Amino acid sequence: MDSFEPIINLLLVLTVLSITAERLTNLLKLQDDRLNERKPDKKAERTREYRISLRTMAIGVLLTILVKANFFEIMSNLQDPWSTLGWVRLEDYRWIRSPATVELSAFLYTLGGCFVTGLGLGFGSKFWHDLLGTVYEMRSLARNKKDKQLLEMTAKPE
């Protein structure tokens, strides 16, 4: 695994969750006439955008609680962050409950981590997608530099 892989894994999880939160927010926005159309008045438009942002944050937090996307667990397992998702998982034909369902302190810790993740989703999928693209580009540059160094080492006459 290259050095960029853990951050790419994190950004993939956050991008997918953020896109999902935005789509859910958009569905709800379309149901509310106050939020559906842009307002010509600047103050009214700012109020509309504020309400949409609050809904996006709330939906992001609810989504992360639903899928148990605990930021702290994800960060501690960047090699396989998707394995931290879910309140239960199927293992060898048995359903295994998350430790967060056993103790109150673990449950509160998980809720706190989900809240942090949900707030992070508020930056929007474009932010996470752009950041992911930047990391991919950095990884590509690092690989090209490494390949160039290897070529130079092998091309030197002895």
End-to-end CA distance of the chain: 33
Domain ranges of the chain: 5-155
Q: Interior CA angle at 128 toward 10 and 3, to 5°?
A: 40
Reading the chain (158 residues) residue by residue, the pLDDT tens digits are 578 889 889 988 999 999 999 899 889 888 888 888 888 889 988 988 888 888 888 999 999 999 999 999 999 999 999 999 999 988 889 998 888 888 999 999 999 999 999 998 888 778 888 888 888 888 888 877 776 776 677 766 65
Q: Interior CA angle at 30 toward 15 and 123, to 5°?
A: 25
Which are the contacts of 143, defined by CB distance < 8 A and separation ≥ 6? Answer: 2
The pTM is what?
0.78
5-31 vs 104-121: helix axis angle to the nearest 10?
80
Residue type, 27: L
